[in-house]
Amino acid sequence: MKLLLSLVGATLALAVGVSARGDVNELLRRVPSDANAIVAVDATRLTDSTGSPDASRPAARPKSPVPLPKVAGLRSLVLASRLHTASMEPAWEVALLEVSQKPSMQAVALASGGYPDTAAGRPAAWCASDIYCVAIDDRTVAAVHPADRQFAARLLAQPAPKATGSDYLAAAASQVNPQSPLVIAVDLRDAVSEAGVRRTFEAGRPAWAAQIPGDEKAAAKLLGSVRGVSVRIGTVGRDGADGELTADFGEDASGLSAGAKGMALGLLAEFGLAVPDLEAWEFSASGRAVTGKGRLSVTGVERLAGFLAAPGVGAPEEGGEATTAAAKGGKQADRRAESSRDYFNAVSAVLDSLRPGASLSDSAAWLTRNAKRIDQLSGLGVDPELLMWGADVSSKLREAAGILSAGQQRVRARTSAVQVSVAHVTDKSSPDPRQAAQSRADRENARRQAQQAGAEERAAVSQEAAKPLQAALESRGKVRAAMAERHGGGF
């Protein structure tokens, strides 16, 4: 089972005894004040819903391509990030974990192929996957990506505030409860401007904006007032979960009911966060919010929660002891084979999940996130040839993402060029009815030309980006055969 949050819950299998309910609010106070995105998780509730029938006994850890902190006794987890809102790429990511027993940074370092350290007088660990971990106290661990010891030390040095810097994120995280063990939120205050939306609309409203009521000025004012987006995910089961998405605005959004769904899906696609499951959801608008409700598949939950990649850290599973040179002979070979199978299956799951996005930028964003997922997979005990293959697949995903991102700029350039060519006839103030009619016709013709030019450019870019993706897919068969011959079945 590849569900992202069930893997978080399954890390409790390493705990001694049954831990109490986690409290994300305590972790939220440790989030850096300039964070604008979080994923908050009550891991104990997820364990109850996805673990073994007997909640007092730990469930076997499910396999997943998603790199999550595998720390003993995990109770609650907050992933925080500072996103560049234009691209949704993180400047930094921090995982804050509440655990039920004292964490061993030495074990974390050894399990990840790194080495133990100290930061601001606290036990820490450099991890080989560009992660820096530090024990804030005996029940709290922070994992920073990219690895930045100074960032971690300053995180420790600052006194824990009474609340996070973002009221929006704090309000969203407060919704974590037994019925909603997972909440995702992005603070978008000041990220979108009315002038910027109007500029975009000059080349023609996107299809998703067609049903927004009012003229371009009114629509731009509404969209420019966006405050944030949050998602609550209900009790997670083996077939998925119930979900609720809320987009909050600073202006009255009640007139958006007819176009609420198209707008929500369109904006998510623009930010590179499209999730196909949402196509079947029911959307409505009331007051200053647009709300959507529906069912999420396992893949949908994983995709929504995975837009912030949890730093890939872990600790050994057997009694908290690190794997050492003492594991020799057949036992060592078995572990090498098992680690290699896990790695191969994780990369394969990423390849199998590849689907075209709602736009070129959406596709590029997901390819970049998937490449990061591969980069953060544990390489401990994995066949070196497999690690080289995984690095090559990651490189090809990034190559395709770069092609798509550059292609999106070419699409915009071509459509803008068409608009500029008719800019002199866009004056709506002409008193002559014939000139006004001609102006409207010219503008409509220009928009059709821009759409055609954009479609042609998108098709060419998609064809170009498909080449490295196809090469990545084709490489799997060769490495599978080599691994099966070397380590046996399971590949």
Residues 23 and 124 in one domain: yes
Model pTM?
A: 0.71
Per-residue confidence at 402, pLDDT binned at 50, 70, 90?
Answer: very high
* pLDDT score at 1: 27
pLDDT at 53 over 60: no
Residues 291 and 353 in one domain: no
Residues 9 and 117 in one domain: yes
Rounded Cα distance, 162 and 146, in Å: 27
Which contacts qualify for 391-398: CB closer than 8 Å, 24 or more apart? 392/472, 392/475, 393/347, 393/350, 393/351, 393/472, 393/475, 395/371, 396/468, 396/469, 396/471, 396/472, 397/350, 397/367, 397/368, 397/370, 397/371, 397/468, 397/469, 397/472, 398/367, 398/368, 398/371
Residue 40 belongs to domain spanning: 4-164
Q: Are 272 and 251 in contact (CB under 8 A)?
A: no
For residues 386-393, give the mean pLDDT: 94
Residue 433 CB-density burial (10 A; 0-12 exposed, 13-18 middle, 19+ buried): exposed
The encoded tokens of residue 354 equal 């590849």
For residues 231-247, give the mean pLDDT: 86
Residues 221 and 85 in one domain: no
pLDDT at 113 over 70: yes
Q: Residues of the chain with pLDDT > 90: what percent?
A: 26
343: nearest Cα among 306, 312, 321: 312
Residues 11 and 108 in one domain: yes
Q: Kindly report the average pLDDT of the chain as a whole number.
A: 78
**Structural domain includes residue 308:** no
For residues 434-449, give the mean pLDDT: 74
The encoded tokens of residue 91 equal 């400047």
**Structural domain includes residue 319:** no
Per-residue confidence at 6, pLDDT binned at 50, 70, 90?
Answer: very low
**Structural domain includes residue 316:** no
Residues 383 and 470 in one domain: yes
* pLDDT score at 161: 61
* pLDDT score at 61: 38
**Structural domain includes residue 94:** yes
For residues 164 and 473, which has the higher predicted lDDT (pLDDT)? 473
**Structural domain includes residue 173:** no
pLDDT at 186 over 50: yes
Residues 142 and 11 in one domain: yes
**Structural domain includes residue 25:** yes
* pLDDT score at 281: 95
Tell me the angle at which helices 433-487 and 360-375 cross, rounded to the nearest 10 degrees. Answer: 20
* pLDDT score at 160: 64
What is the tens place of the pLDDT at every residue in 58-78? Answer: 333 333 333 345 556 778 889
Residues 186 and 153 in one domain: no
Q: Per the structure, how many domains does the chain have? A: 3
Residues 18 and 153 in one domain: yes
* pLDDT score at 418: 60
Per-residue confidence at 49, pLDDT binned at 50, 70, 90?
Answer: very low
**Structural domain includes residue 125:** yes
Residues 383 and 345 in one domain: yes
Instruction: Please say which residue of 130, 164, 198 terminates a domain.
Output: 164
Residues 224 and 331 in one domain: no
For residues 93 and 215, which has the higher predicted lDDT (pLDDT)? 93
pLDDT at 362 over 50: yes
* pLDDT score at 150: 94
For residues 96-118, give the mean pLDDT: 85
**Structural domain includes residue 347:** yes
The encoded tokens of residue 361 equal 């930028």
* pLDDT score at 419: 55
Instruction: Please say which residue of 112, 134, 164 terminates a domain.
Output: 164
Residues 360 and 436 in one domain: yes
For residues 432-450, give the mean pLDDT: 74
pLDDT at 397 over 50: yes
* pLDDT score at 264: 86
What is the tens place of the pLDDT at every residue in 319-345? Answer: 444 444 444 556 677 888 888 998 998
Per-residue confidence at 172, pLDDT binned at 50, 70, 90?
Answer: very high
